[in-house]
């Protein structure tokens, strides 16, 4: 006979947290939201840890290079969507990795015999206004000069004008020799009022730039998530079809972590992808897998080598998997069971495998509940789709500003690879919708507000970090009547003029 679960599948809205004792040190400014992203042995440290427990979803309407930079500045990771050509995804990774660094390798280079037209085309392609002029036009060439937007004026110059006629020549540049420390380089930027400092080797060949804007950015974003070379960290989605071609190019581009983008993870296809990445790259790149909603699925992926496991099926706001296929589980129930199995796995094997909760988040307090129930971090789609940095259009619909948001299982995305189970190479039916979400403004302001709420909840529960939150939280299920009681009720709200008696 089929197996039946005794408890109904529950959502986050069906639970509340009970306050715990808070001493005088238990204040919002003392809360530490750092969290592990990749598996590690007991007593050791994870290779990748985030400064906030948020990642953006592997979706066309959510995660591109612009979102990745914005989220990395706040301490999280974006997983750039895989439902695009391999080279386009690779270019997004490269743009993120070159966007920030203490020492930046130049990706905008030109020869002195090229023209202003070439400069403008290069700027349009790279998005960077500082161009190194080298003898061979490569980033390793001998430096002859630099061109910035202050060196030319398009309205009063011919596009055919040679770079050599308007560049700032090398003899007029302030530069530093290879081996200088980042602190020393930043001092030179300030002392000489520079925006960019070229670093050259003993043969006067360009090795790096140090930019003033990166120093300013770091001071404004103390939680920014950087790799060992001071570059922003970024993830990428991969599928179970072209991973042998896609993964090597993503790794070459500098991706920090991968995640299999499939609708369900308890499959041989995901095991094959995990085995390929582990065997071919021997730990040089980490990879998460999923989705799962019970202990058997978690253990399968953990045993297969997943560095983290995504939890959730059908709980996303644009997902209709449950109503089209009858597959899924209430997100709270899924997180609770998988988290319990993760602890059992740790005791049995001495390995901690982080879990990522994806779906079911409607309100900010749901994030706190997900963390308390055992999630190490949260993957969010609708939440991030609302911000300036998401790749979709901002529209005015019926007098309200909105942003477009569509699921990977919708006809608009046509991401058949995500739902492929060995059949025809096409999307046979939709498992997602095309929609709008209310426009919310810049990511930084919204994430700051959200995390302050989460921190405040943790303080009320008497904890200062996520690990203690998971160990000490007191959680109670709530009745339908108490859910009504928890909001405004039995009053007439001034802002609407309508009754809120329910």
CA distance 451 to 241: 37
Three-state SS at 473: coil
CA distance 69 to 99: 8
CA distance 262 to 311: 12
The catalytic residue among 10, 39, 94, 319 is 319
Instruction: Name 178's Cβ contacts closer than 8 Å, sequence gap at least 6.
Output: 199, 200, 201, 202, 207
Concerning whether 319 is annotated as a catalytic residue, the answer is: yes
Give pairs for 486-492: CB < 8 Å, separation 24+: 486/16
Query: Considering just the CA atoms, what is the radius of gyration of the chain in Å?
Result: 25
Concerning whether 94 is annotated as a catalytic residue, the answer is: no
**CA 59 remoteness from chain centre:** 11
Cis peptide before 291 (omega within 30 of 0): yes
Closest by CA to 107, choosing from 122, 86, 92, is 122
DSSP 43: T
* Look-up of token digits 């709420």: 453
The catalytic residue among 10, 329, 382, 418 is 418
- Would you report the helix, strand and coil content of the chain in percent, each value rounded to 5? 35, 20, 45
Burial bucket for residue 259 (CB in 10 Å: 0-12, 13-18, 19+): buried
CA distance 463 to 451: 15
Task: Give me the helix-helix angle, 212-220 and 182-191, nearest 10°.
Answer: 110
What six digits make up the tokens of 69? 């930079």
Burial bucket for residue 388 (CB in 10 Å: 0-12, 13-18, 19+): middle
Which sequence positions are flagged as catalytic? 319, 418
């Amino acid at each position: 006979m089929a197996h039946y679960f005794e408890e109904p599948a529950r959502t986050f809205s069906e639970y509340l947290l009970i306050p715990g004792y808070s001493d005088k040190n238990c204040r919002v400014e003392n809360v530490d939201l750092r969290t592990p992203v990749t598996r590690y042995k007991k007593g050791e440290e994870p290779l990748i840890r985030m400064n906030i427990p948020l990642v953006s979803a592997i979706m066309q309407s959510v995660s591109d290079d612009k979102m990745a930079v914005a989220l990395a500045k706040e301490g999280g990771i974006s997983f750039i969507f895989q439902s695009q050509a391999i080279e386009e995804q690779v270019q997004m990774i490269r743009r993120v990795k070159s966007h920030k660094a203490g020492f930046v390798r130049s990706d905008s280079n030109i020869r002195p015999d090229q023209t202003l037209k070439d400069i403008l085309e290069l700027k349009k392609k790279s998005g960077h206004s500082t161009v190194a002029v080298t003898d061979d036009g490569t980033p390793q060439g001998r430096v002859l000069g630099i061109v910035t937007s202050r060196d030319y004026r398009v309205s009063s110059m011919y596009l055919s004008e040679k770079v050599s006629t308007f560049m700032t020549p090398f003899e007029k540049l302030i530069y530093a020799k290879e081996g200088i420390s980042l602190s020393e380089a930043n001092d030179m930027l300030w002392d000489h009022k520079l925006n960019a400092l070229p670093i050259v080797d003993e043969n006067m060949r360009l090795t790096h730039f140090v930019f003033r804007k990166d120093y300013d950015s770091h001071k404004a974003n103390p939680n920014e998530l950087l790799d060992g070379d001071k570059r922003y960290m970024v993830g990428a989605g991969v599928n179970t079809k072209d991973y042998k071609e896609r993964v090597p190019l993503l790794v070459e581009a500098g991706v920090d972590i991968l995640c299999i983008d499939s609708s369900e993870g308890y499959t041989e296809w995901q095991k094959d992808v995990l085995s390929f990445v582990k065997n071919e790259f021997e730990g040089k790149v980490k990879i998460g897998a999923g989705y799962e909603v019970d202990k058997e699925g978690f253990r399968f992926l953990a045993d297969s080598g997943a560095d983290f496991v995504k939890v959730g099926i059908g709980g996303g706001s644009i997902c209709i998997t449950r109503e089209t296929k009858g597959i899924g589980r209430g997100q709270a129930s899924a997180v609770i069971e998988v988290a319990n199995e993760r602890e059992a796995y740790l005791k049995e094997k001495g390995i901690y495998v982080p879990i990522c909760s994806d779906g079911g988040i409607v309100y900010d307090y749901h994030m706190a509940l997900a963390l308390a129930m055992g999630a190490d971090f949260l993957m969010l789609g609708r939440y991030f789709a609302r911000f300036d940095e998401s790749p979709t259009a901002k529209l005015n619909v019926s007098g309200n500003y909105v942003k477009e948001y569509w699921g990977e299982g919708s006809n608009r995305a046509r991401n058949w690879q995500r739902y492929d189970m060995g059949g025809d190479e096409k999307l046979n039916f939709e498992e997602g919708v095309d929609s709008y979400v209310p426009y919310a403004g810049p990511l930084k302001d919204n994430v700051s507000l959200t995390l302050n709420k989460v921190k405040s909840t943790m303080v009320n529960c008497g904890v200062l970090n996520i690990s203690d939150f998971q160990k000490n939280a007191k959680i109670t299920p709530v009745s339908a009547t108490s859910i009504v009681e928890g909001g405004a009720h039995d009053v007439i709200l001034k802002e609407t003029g309508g009754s809120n008696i329910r």
